[in-house]
Amino acid sequence: MATKSMVAAGERARAAGGPITKRRRRMNGDMVIAFFVLLPSILAVAIFIYTAIGWTFYISTVKWNSQIIDYTFVGLRNWSRLFSDNRFYADLRNLVYYAIGFMSQCIIFGFIIASLLDQKIRGEILFRTIVILPFAVSGIVTGVAWRWLMQPTTGINLLFAKIGLENFQPVWISHPDYGMWAVTIATSWQFTGYVMALYLAGLRGIPQELREAASIDGAGTYATYRYIIIPLLMPVTFTAIVLTGMNSIRVFDVLASMSGSGPAFATDTLAFFMYQSTFGAYRYSLGATIGAFMILLSAFLIVPYLRSMRDEVER
């Protein structure tokens, strides 16, 4: 009897997996070594990520708004100052514009291109390579190239003029209201390939039988996509929303080389505001407040995403 239950326990441990669990979760010698090998990374993450987050929030509650370090507690004064700053509201508006423009372009075009590439296309690798190529270049390079393309007197406007649109000559990034939309064209140019790759992998994961079954049931292309493929790709769409959402919150590089803050902060972002307040104006507490606000914003995306991942990790 005793042996039998031991075997059963062994089986259960085997199901749980791992050479360790088999002998119960005992801290044996190798386990201790594993922990100590991991320790430097744990410390690095603890210091540079978690302590840093706490520290940023702490700095946001002190009076350190000059080059001289000053940890005098001022409560939420920096926060209320931020919330009464016009630039902050311009940035929030820009974040909404940017997120809508960037996320929808990446997701819609990424999905369309992936669906087209999934139709047994000759030269798929070539098409795929071209679409992802922009993802290999930096935000800075993207900004330099697109600033040239979006010059009002040349670039895309020149192409518009050539096809008879002499009167449609937008000023792109210099427009006080629509500048941010123009920026999203450049950044989604860079990022759509990534989203496309996610969708393509998702499409490849859908069993062929499902599509065949749908077509036997008389579902046309539209119905197949509407009722089978798009719902099955929801996890990919969720991932794409999180990734593009994160990018929307921290957009910085492309602005540094493309448009800067723009006229009347038309293309300003929180990341840009934070950088200039901190390293340009030495208003560290204000900068920390903006940074802390950005962390709070991204928590809305990070937390559900990690929660959805947890089940996968703890198999």
CA pair distance 54, 292, nearest whole angstrom: 9
Q: How many residues bind other proteins (CB under 8 A)?
A: 112
Least distance (Å) between residue 64 CB and other proteins: 9
The answer to whether 138 contacts other proteins (rule: CB under 8 A) is yes
Which member of 6, 8, 108, 133 binds other proteins (CB under 8 A)? 133
The answer to whether 50 contacts other proteins (rule: CB under 8 A) is yes
The answer to whether 287 contacts other proteins (rule: CB under 8 A) is yes
Question: Could you tell me if 63 and 285 are in contact, meaning their C-beta atoms sit under 8 angstroms apart?
Answer: yes
x/- track of binding to other proteins for residues 230-269 (CB under 8 A): -----xx--x--xx--x--xx-xx--xx------------
For residue 270 the two structure tokens come to 């929180």
The answer to whether 37 contacts other proteins (rule: CB under 8 A) is yes
**150 three-class SS:** coil
Segment 193-212, which members bind other proteins (CB under 8 A)?
Answer: 193-194, 197-198, 201-202, 205
CA angle 94, 96, 100 (to 5 degrees): 115
The answer to whether 110 contacts other proteins (rule: CB under 8 A) is no
Question: Could you tell me if 280 and 268 are in contact, meaning their C-beta atoms sit under 8 angstroms apart?
Answer: no
Tell me how far CA of residue 25 lies from CA of 20, 31, 53, in angstroms: 6, 10, 33
Which member of 5, 41, 84, 208 binds other proteins (CB under 8 A)? 41
Least distance (Å) between residue 206 CB and other proteins: 13
Segment 52-81, which members bind other proteins (CB under 8 A)?
Answer: 52-53, 55-56, 59
The answer to whether 101 contacts other proteins (rule: CB under 8 A) is no
Dihedral over Cα of 61, 62, 63, 65: its sign: negative
For residue 55 the two structure tokens come to 């520290």
Q: Which long-range contacts (CB under 8 A, 24 or more apart) does 168-175 make?
A: 173/147, 173/258, 173/259, 173/262, 173/266, 173/267, 174/259, 174/262, 174/263, 174/266, 175/266
Least distance (Å) between residue 236 CB and other proteins: 7
The interface region with other proteins, picked from 1-9, 89-97, 99-107, 138-146 by CB under 8 A, is 138-146
